[in-house]
């Protein structure tokens, strides 16, 4: 079973990715900030789950690369 076709992933891969450096991390943070402005608290918004995904990717990077944030 093919869950996601290659073209769909190509369209998403510039937006949804695991950050490997500070520049990529900052790019995800900026995208999340823009989504928060657009989605707000509306959990039924079509982009709300994308906010969750970006938040998880950012949190993972912070836990690995920003130790002072992981302690809080």
pLDDT at position 40: 93
Say what the pLDDT of residue 43 is.
93
- What residues contact 70, with CB distance under 8 A and at least 6 apart? 62, 63
Which residue range forms the structural domain that includes residue 34?
A: 6-70
Q: Is residue 46 part of a domain?
A: yes
Domain membership flag for residue 1: no
Residue 69's pLDDT is 63
40 φ/ψ sector (left φ>0, alpha ψ -120 to 50, else beta): left
CB atoms within 10 A of CB 35: 17
What confidence tens digit (pLDDT) does each residue in 52-68 have? Answer: 999 999 999 999 998 77
Q: Which of 14, 36, 27 shows the shortest CA–CA distance to 58?
A: 27
**pLDDT tens-digit map of 1-28:** 667 788 888 888 999 999 999 999 999 9
Looking at the structure of the chain, the number of domains it has is 1
Asked, for residue 31, whether it belongs to a domain, the answer is yes
**Does the residue 23 lie in any domain?**
yes
Identify the DSSP state of 13: T
Q: Is residue 17 part of a domain?
A: yes
């Amino acid at each position: 079973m093919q869950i996601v076709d290659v073209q769909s992933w190509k369209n998403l891969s510039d937006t949804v990715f695991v950050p490997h450096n500070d520049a990529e991390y900052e790019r995800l943070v900026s995208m999340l900030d823009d989504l928060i402005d657009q989605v707000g608290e509306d959990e039924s918004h079509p982009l709300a789950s994308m906010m969750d995904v970006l938040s998880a990717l950012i949190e993972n990077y912070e836990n690995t690369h920003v130790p002072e944030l992981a302690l809080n």
